[in-house]
Amino acid sequence: MDRATGILYLWPPSALTAASDIIVSLLGAPLVRMNGVGFVTLRDFTLETTRNELVDVRSGTNVKLEGLVLRDAGTDAASVGGTANVVRQCEVYGSGEAGIVLSGGDRPSLTRSDSVVESSNIHDIRPFRFDLQSGDSVDRCRTISAAP
Domain ranges of the chain: 36-145
Q: What is the pLDDT of residue 25?
A: 85
At residue 85, the pLDDT reads 96
Establish how many alpha carbons lie within 13 A of residue 108's alpha carbon, considering only the half-sphere containing its beta carbon.
0
Q: Which stretches of the chain score pLDDT less than 70?
A: 127-148
Residue 2 amino acid letter? D
Q: Note the pLDDT of residue 68.
A: 98
- How many whole angstroms separate alpha carbon 146 and alpha carbon 148? 7
Round to whole Å and give the CA distance between 92 and 20. Answer: 22
Helices (H) and strands (E) in the chain, counts: 0, 14
pLDDT at 98: 85
Q: How far apart are CA 6 and CA 20, in angstroms?
A: 23
- State residue 106's pLDDT score: 84
The values of phi and psi at residue 25, to 5°, are -110, 135
Rounded to 5°, the CA angle 25-31-35 comes to 145
The pTM (predicted TM-score) of the whole model is: 0.81
